Structure 1
Amino acid sequence: MIKNIKWLFIASLSLVACNNNEDETVADVPVTAGSANFSKYVALGNSITAGFTDGALFKAGQQNSYAKLMADQFALVGGGEFKIPYMNDNIGGLMFGTTQIQSTRLIFNGSAPVNLAATPTTQLLPVLTGGFNNFGVPGAKSFHLLAPGYGNPAGLMTSPQTANPYFVRFASSATTSVLQDAMAQQPTFFSLWIGNNDVLGYAMSGGDGSNPITPATGAPGVGFDGTYNALVNTLTSGGAKGVVANIPYVSTIPFFTTVPYNPLTSAVLGNGNTTVGDATISQLNTQLYGPLKQALTAFGAGDRIELLSTSKANPVLIKDESLTDLSAQLTAAFTPSMGAANAAFYGAVFGKARQAKATDLVLLTTKNAIGAAPTASDSGLGFAPPSPLNKFGITYPLQDKHILIPTEIAELKTATDAYNATIKAAADAKVLAFVDVNAVMQQLANGGVRFDNYHMTASFVQGGAFGLDGVHLTARANAYVANKFLEAINATYGSTFKFYKPQSFPMSYPANLP
């Protein structure tokens, strides 16, 4: 049924190669380094720093990362070579022998993002050698940058894994850490943008507990503050200067803002036929929503469920673990009409159920779950529920992993605010350039930004800022973010770096990217 909720179409494809397009408004200003030394630049971070986009790491994305764009500017004032652990192709994905362990990049097929149908040529092993400057590692949390063995191939076989395949590809040894390898380059300047995954992992799992938020406080390797200060103290220990960036709220990225909380219209429920949809709504109200509403009202919880409407969009049905469990009460209420076994089943399913509200955030990946049949592994009951309770979000509540409820959103905001306070304090203490990426992303999410005649927003696909995975930046947004970094560097160190024209960079990559 959810297939009737249409994806947005890509507005255009820009195929311009664009690493050296600079803003003509500052073209006549000589480029100078100011008080900083850019001869040896290293970039530390996660997937965004690496150039990951459209669900994969591939060469074009790496070439258009904000870190690479900054390095190109630093080269104008004596910056040395910026070595990147390039993937072999623009297919994306990663192979471990004959086994594919990472997916190919996403492309838009005219109606939805799909994985490129190709076999990756990038192998996990043998390890790349020669020393690198871009230490962006997709999937890394803050404490991973300190972890010895994060690049040890043997750590990929443990449960849980203690290594990261992307760092395995270019770690200098099996016992080194990301920070150790970065410091081995004897950096004179660094960028550090880390912490996104410390909250994002929790958010992308719907706050189901499988990927916890990193504690805001604790020792290095445990708490964010201890870890972050250890990173900054080490990076500046040799006199290097740098730029750091804070963490955006997850509510500003399209992975959490694209799928509406109320997608269930008559057209959707009728697979495009509103007459069928109207009849379906009438049947659902008679057989499920009406009885639930009546029983819950008797227990003082009638606001959890409203009857479906044929004239407006209706919310999906979800499980809210923060609600009082009314399974016993519902079981007792339904036993006379259903019998004890069926009543107990309905009580277990709907004891913490409610309809979603505008204050909930539905995950982008949940789009494919709405209307699908729950399985034994994802129903929360240990078995696949029978008809008619076999349609997620319609007759069966979406589970914890599918949605973020207000209490989880508040947890994420509290952690993000704490992380950002730590980042700003470290920047102030070490007199480092600071980029308020959180403010940048909020602006993109709330009206967007304009340059020349182009309007860039956080809208999924069409907005131009985020790739097809709904999380990572497009090349165009990387150029915009690079400008923000360069702006902060200019303000802090008296540099006069030029700015890129974001509109000259692609907002998407074609399927046949060479």
Structure 2
Amino acid sequence: MIRTVRFLAAVLGLVLAVAACNNDKLNRPFANTPVDPLFDRYVSMGNSVTAGFQSGGINDSTQQQSYAVLLARAMHSPFFVPSLTKPGCPPPYTNVFTGARLTPTGYPPSTGTSCYLRNIPSEPPPYVSNTAVPGAVVEDLFNNLDTASHANTLTQFILGGLTQVQMLRRAQPTFVSLWIGNNDILGAATSSTNPGDSTKITSLANFQARYRTLLDSINAVGPRGAILIGVANVTELPYFSAGATYWAIKNGLVPGAAFPPAFTVSNNCAPGAAIPGLGRGDTTLVPFPYGATLLAAASPPNNQPRNLDCSDSVVAIVTPPELRKLVAADSAYNLFISAQATAHGWAYLTPNGALDSLRTLPQPNTAVRAFPLIGQPCSANPFGTAFSCDGVHPSASTHKLIAQKLQAAINAAYGAGIPAVP
């Protein structure tokens, strides 16, 4: 069905192309012909993952590792990326535990507010292909100008004051990928004041209304095809460790791992099966900044007594009731996104299958660590090889995996012949 609709759209596209050949020459920066007319102009929309944000920062190197860039290369599609000058905006971490960031020789020490702006080519591109902006929620893609939006410095640098939808209209894409919605949950899960704060989850009604508005805007541009990507389960990020993992390490159940004597773990952090009626650690999440702070205080030379408690009254952790709300929101969002893809005749991909395949690798799992290598530099992959050095954003290898999953899903839905992702 998708292929039939696309064929009719392609015929119309060829007719229009005859009248627009001059513009086509301007917009095709290389001689390669896309593997399918469907990909004459591919535009990716989304947030930090799509933009290429890694290790708490972004620059022209991390941008080129984005799954969207890899997919565009496989499509042989012209793809314009708003390149951010090294060391970045902000520069990525080199050690997330100390706050150290990439600082080239001769530069002042980088911080979380350092920003080295965009690299403007001698011939500016006619449009931006990767419109994604770090920090974006669904509403920001069509409305980033009022006080309710999450517009930030990168919104201006990447889009030049436009919304992602406005840039989409400028590009007039033939194919669109959309991965948005993670931040509608992530901000609640990783809140610095109250991790798991369900009041910060975008309500399902608001999410659905805003997502429909966004899809209407995309549909109005008339792409020949699109793929919607579901919301990743933010509770499975290595940014968090289960309370049960802390309990297991403290009780000598994890070979080669140990905590300092001054650090204790309450029995309510045990798995439910280990201490029935008390243990709740398998449904309690501990953000790494909180855990690392406790351990630093309890370690030499400080040696201050610290305890991890998994009670509901502890604001610094994600409690079981909060966890259930986060997971429920993720499931509800994805059911809606999948249904919208079907209703529009577009493809759909859930990222959770690919990420779950990394989480379930045999132990010791160095792809997604159950407990971070606290204190280690980013070169040691403290959260595992599948995630960058902030415990939230995928690494380059995982971007490639996502691109491969998208290639397969698009080929299956549209009968396209995208080759292997390079």
Tell me, yes or no, if structure 1 residue 179 matches structure 2 residue 165: yes
Q: Tell me which amino acid in the other structure corresponds to 1:70.
A: L
Residue 86 (structure 1) aligns with = 83
- 1:57 shift after superposition: 0.6
RMSD value, Cα = 4.0
Give unmatched runs, 5+ long, in structure 1: 1-29, 95-101, 218-222, 267-271, 290-303, 307-313, 316-353, 375-387, 449-454, 502-514
- Against the structure 1 CA distance between its residues 488 and 395, is the aligned structure 2 distance closer, same or farther, given a 3 Å change threshold? closer
> How many aligned positions are there?
351
Read off the aligned partner of 2:156 and give its amino acid letter. Answer: V
* Letter in structure 1 aligned against 2:57: A
Determine which structure has more spread, i.e. the larger CA radius of gyration: 1
**For residue 411 of structure 1, what is the aligned residue in structure 2?**
325
More displaced, 184-193 or 125-134? 125-134
Could you say if the C-alpha distance between residues 212 and 497 of structure 1 is closer, same or farther in structure 2, counting changes exceeding 3 Å? same
Q: TM-score, normalised by structure 1?
A: 0.59
Does the Cα contact within 8 Å between 1:369 and 1:392 map onto a contact in 2?
Answer: no
1-structure distance, mates of 2:197, 2:120: 34
- Residue type matched to 1:40 in 2? R
CA–CA distance in structure 2, aligned partners of residues 124 and 214 of structure 1: 31
Residue 34 of structure 2 contacts residue 40 of structure 2 at CA under 8 Å; is this kept in 1? Answer: no
How many Å apart are 1:500 and its aligned residue?
2.9
Which secondary structure does the structure 2 equivalent of 1:200 belong to? helix
Secondary structure of the 1:481 match is: helix
Question: Matches of residues 376-415 of structure 1 in structure 2 within 5 Å?
Answer: 392-393=306-307, 400-415=314-329
Partners of 2:348 and 2:150 in 1: CA distance = 31
The answer to whether structure 1 residue 216 and structure 2 residue 130 are counterparts is no
Q: Deviations over 1:394-424 (max 9, x none)?
A: 5998975521111111101111111101110
Deviation string for 1:449-489 (max 9, x for gaps)? xxxxxx98323537421111111111111111001011111
Q: How far has the Cα of 1:239 moved from its partner? A: 2.5
Counterpart secondary structure, 1:470:
coil
Q: Which residue of 2 aligns with 1:369?
A: 293
Q: Which amino acid aligns with 1:485?
A: L
2:79 and 2:129 in contact (8 A); partners too? yes
* Residue from 180, 183, 189 that aligns with 1:194: 180
Give, as a single letter, the amino acid of the residue that structure 2 aligns with 1:87.
L
Query: Identity of aligned pairs, percent?
Result: 27
- Report if aligned partners of 1:31, 1:495 keep a CA contact under 8 Å in 2: no
Structure 2 equivalent of residue 163 of structure 1: 151
Corresponding position: 1:261 with 2:185? no
1:40 aligns to what?
A: 41
Q: CA deviation at 1:168?
A: 1.4
Structure 2 counterpart of 1:11? none
Identify the residue that residue 480 of structure 1 maps to in structure 2: 401
2:368 to 458, 461, 474: 458
* Corresponding letter in the other structure for 1:237: A
Greater alpha carbon shift after TM alignment, 37-46 vs 432-441? 432-441
Question: Are residues 127 and 171 of structure 1, via their aligned partners in 2, closer, same or farther at CA, if it must alter by over 3 Å?
Answer: farther
Per-residue Cα deviation, 1:206-260 (whole angstroms, up to 9, x for no partner): 446497001111xxxxx11111122222212233111111112123221113783
The 2-side partners of 1:463 and 1:305 are apart by 27
What letter corresponds to residue 436 of structure 1 in structure 2?
T
Between the aligned partners of 2:292 and 2:393, the Cα distance in structure 1 is 20
Aligned to 1:358: 282
1:236 aligns with 2:219: yes
For residue 192 of structure 1, give the secondary structure of its aligned residue in structure 2: strand
Structure 2 residue aligned with 1:338: none
2:361 is the alignment partner of 1:437 = no
- Given that 1:371 and 1:391 are in contact with CA atoms closer than 8 Å, whether structure 2 keeps it comes out as no
Q: Using the alignment, how far apart are the partners of 1:396 and 1:444 within structure 2? A: 27
Match 2:414 to one of 483, 487, 493? 493
Q: Helix, strand or coil for the counterpart of 2:354? A: helix
Change in CA separation of 1:305 and 1:489 when aligned onto 2, cut-off 3 Å: closer
Q: Greater helix percent: which structure?
A: 2
What pairs up with 1:292-331 in 2 under 5 angstroms?
A: none
CA distance, structure 2, for counterparts of residue 139 and residue 468 of structure 1? 17
What is the aligned partner in structure 1 of residue 29 from structure 2? none
Query: What is the DSSP-based 3-state SS (H/G/I as helix, E as strand, rest coil) of the residue aligned with 2:45?
Result: strand
State the one-letter code of the partner of 1:433: A
CA distance in 1, matches of 2:119, 2:100: 29
Does the alignment pair 1:246 with 2:230?
A: yes
| 1:199 Cα deviation from its structure 2 partner | 0.6
- Three-state SS of the structure 1 residue aligned to 2:294 is coil
Determine which of 222, 225, 240 is the counterpart of 2:208: 225
Q: What is aligned with 1:147?
A: 143
Deviation for aligned residue 1:114: 4.3
Deviates more, 1:414-423 or 1:245-254: 245-254
- List alignment gaps of at least 5 residues for structure 2: 1-32, 253-257, 271-277, 373-380
Are the structure 2 counterparts of residues 467 and 167 from structure 1 closer, same or farther at C-alpha, using a change threshold of 3 Å? same
